[in-house]
A and B are shown apart, each in its own frame.
Chain A
Amino acid sequence: MSSDQRVPIEGPTRVSPAAILRLDDFTLRFRGQTVATVNGISLSVSAGEILCVVGESGCGKSVTAMSIMGLLPKGASDVLSGDLSFMGKSYDLRRENLPSHLRGNQIAMIFQEPMTSLNPAFSVGDQIAESVLQHQGGTRAEALRRARDLLVKVGISAPDQRLKEFPYQLSGGMRQRVMIAIALANDPKLLIADEPTTALDVTIQAQILNLIDDLRRDTGMGTMMITHDLGVVAEIADSVAVMYGGEVVEYGPVREIFANPQHPYTIGLMSAMPRLDRPGGRLAIVPGSVPAIENMPSGCRFRTRCAFANETCTERPLPMAAGSGHRVACHFAPLEEHVMVQA
């Protein structure tokens, strides 16, 4: 159909032997709805890799993360397709979840609002120790020693005092560090971080990003990090999945995504971001807003906001290889080969 040499590909292209996590063709529909909220997404995370999942609010980032963790409330949704493989074992998500004993152990999650996920009634030390005891056993004294080591590891000063403190006594940045300490308690192979710095100031955000970056270097842990901030992606990601309307529209190594963005939505997001090096003037925008799920168009879900949409786009674009490890789901990528714009 098109003039170039692209070939449709299926599933993630970065199937490295070290993949810790793979999600293949995951589709989820909430009960009572006719349109799938998450529609056929595939991604993978390797040892030591940071995959950033980026997209605007409501595009299905958290639903995907919660599904991988098996934490979505039962009975609220149906998985229509999807295979999850974790550390070489496969699970058919239509029927089964990741075994719960892996949760908080081999695979750990941190959330955007650390206050709601810490228990206000228990001291920091007790909460970390609890997680250690639950998965590793041993004595309480040992677990508390481990808790103290973890606090040091996540850069908390005066760890002995902090162990005795309660969540309300900590600042937002400190709570997020405690959450990370709990997540790390059992040396997870995979960390899922859902907007871990969104509620924090830039100076504290920088500290937390550095921490996550150091940890994956030291421990080889894979990380799936959800964010809506392209700056964070540029700073920390090795690879990027750009999501729109419950689909991964572009996927690839971070350098490729920034140097050679192909999907009109990715280009739009980058154009819309105010830049320090190009102040003033009008920003190029992404017109309109995300339709409600019932109004999601067939074919390319972005077509109600895409300046390049035409009849072809009523058909769903397959992900195509766009470079090494880079894939894009748009009938007209790269734009300059397919379209002209007349004033």
Chain B
Amino acid sequence: MSGDLILRASGLTKRFGGGGFLTRAPVVQAVDDVSLEVRRGETFAIVGESGCGKSTLARLLMRLLEPTAGQVVFDGEDISHAAGPDLTRLRRDMQFIFQDPFSSLNPRMTVGKLIGEPLEVHRPDLTARERRAKIGDLLRTVGLTDAHANRYPHEFSGGQRQRIGIARALASGPKLVIGDEPVSALDVSIQAQVINLMGDLSRDLGLTLVIIAHDLGVIRHMSDRVAVMYLGRIVETGTAAEVFDSPRHPYTQALLASIPAPRVEGEGRAPQLSGEMPSPTAPPPGCRFHTRCPFAGPECRNSVPELAPVDTGEVGSRKAATGTDHRVACHHWREIPLPAGAARSAPHSEPVEARFALYRAAIEGGQVVLKARVPTAAT
């Protein structure tokens, strides 16, 4: 096995409901037999449609939920049923960033208190003065200033609140941070600021990030490796390049084809996935995707495809030697053609490229100088 593992899930399963002996709520199979490995220092992304089980999986990985079956090993220790002091230690080492920067911060606490709270719990050794200094450090790490410590969450914009949430998550000095849609509530311009910040943190602090997102552009940009989920199961996993550039699972292919993109003149629209994801209370037997899959055959209806390595003949054997872990759960992936690589955006002309370069140079701190104008009578 390549790389140093920080987190490993095997056969992770979570069912909700049922059980009640008077009420007979249908059983929701939110996560079903999920196995994955996260390496130290990498950014690992989980992607899939609403309701496919991403948040449930994240909560299982963090031991915010107890699995119905399966195991989570964090830093060499089985945490599936951790409790008491083990759990406290786990909370220090693994932190969470929430989607909604508006509701995840207590409005009655100053930013200093919000960030100081996890410090008090996890770093009781710090004196009040050391703690204040540490709060200042954390604020500066996320691009805020010491002075912000005395203000309240409502005085901040969405992007700033998300920074506060990140500072709070970093306070205990975690080894791993899980973000459940950490940027999806933000406007593009603000989202880019937070994505850059998380990239800096993972690089500078050597943090391991597990990111859940439904925006494929965000995931492609941020992550080293990706797992694609459908109806509680992982259907494909691999490096971001493998999954995005050579998607093997029909669902991954359909997801990528759904990303809105400029229309290419004279070309038809990409075929779209029909229908919607079935309810996790009654997942289809066999391959859970078979009700929407254009390649489904009879065996897909009763036999569950295994998440197996993608070995493509000679290329595969070379890859196998270098330890690829591109895996796909589909009976027919060998017969399914790779989608034609789509040219996603028209190239810019030279002056326009120059314009984008000017923009980047200016916001990265370059000095803007006006060009001498051709004098006209009016000026």
> With contacts A201-B49, A284-B363, A307-B359 known, is A336 near B351, CB below 8 A?
yes
For B370, give its contact among A270, A271, A338 (CB under 8 Å): A338
Complex CA–CA separation, A33 to B262 (angstroms): 40
Taking each of A261, A271, A307, which has the highest tally of chain B beta carbons within 10 Å of its own beta carbon?
A307
Contact B370–A203 (Cβ < 8 Å): no
Contact A56–B216 (Cβ < 8 Å): no
* Chain B contacts with A in 337-379, Cβ cutoff 8 A: 343-346, 348-349, 351-352, 354-356, 358-364, 366-371, 373-374, 376, 378-379
Size of A's binding interface in residues, CB under 8 A: 69
> With contacts A202-B259, A335-B358, A337-B371 known, is A276 near B189, CB below 8 A?
no
Contact A275–B217 (Cβ < 8 Å): yes
Tell yes or no: B144 within 8 A of A by CB: no
Taking each of B157, B276, B369, B374, which has the highest tally of chain A beta carbons within 10 Å of its own beta carbon?
B276
For B50, give its contact among A201, A272, A334 (CB under 8 Å): A201
Contact A275–B352 (Cβ < 8 Å): no
Chain A residues positioned under 8 Å from B255 (CB to CB): 202-203
Complex CA–CA separation, A275 to B217 (angstroms): 6
Chain A residues positioned under 8 Å from B222 (CB to CB): 274
Contact A3–B376 (Cβ < 8 Å): yes
- Convert B211-225 into 0s and 1s, putting 1 for each residue whose CB lies closer than 8 angstroms to a CB of A: 000111110111000
Tell yes or no: B188 within 8 A of A by CB: yes
Contact A205–B352 (Cβ < 8 Å): no
Quote the shortest CB–CB distance from A271 to chain B (angstroms). 6
Tell yes or no: A123 within 8 A of B by CB: no
Tell yes or no: A133 within 8 A of B by CB: no
Quote the shortest CB–CB distance from A336 to chain B (angstroms). 5
For B373, give its contact among A3, A275, A289 (CB under 8 Å): A3
Closest chain A residue to B256, Cβ basis: A276
Closest chain A residue to B215, Cβ basis: A274
For B362, give its contact among A56, A210, A307 (CB under 8 Å): A307
Contact A203–B358 (Cβ < 8 Å): no
Tell yes or no: A34 within 8 A of B by CB: no
Known: A285-B192, A339-B371. 4 other contacts (CB 8 A): A2-B373, A56-B188, A228-B188, A236-B260
Interface residues of chain B, those whose CB is within 8 Å of chain A, are 49-50, 157-160, 187-193, 195-196, 199, 214-218, 220-222, 240-241, 244, 254-255, 257-263, 269-270, 272-274, 276, 343-346, 348-349, 351-352, 354-356, 358-364, 366-371, 373-374, 376, 378-379
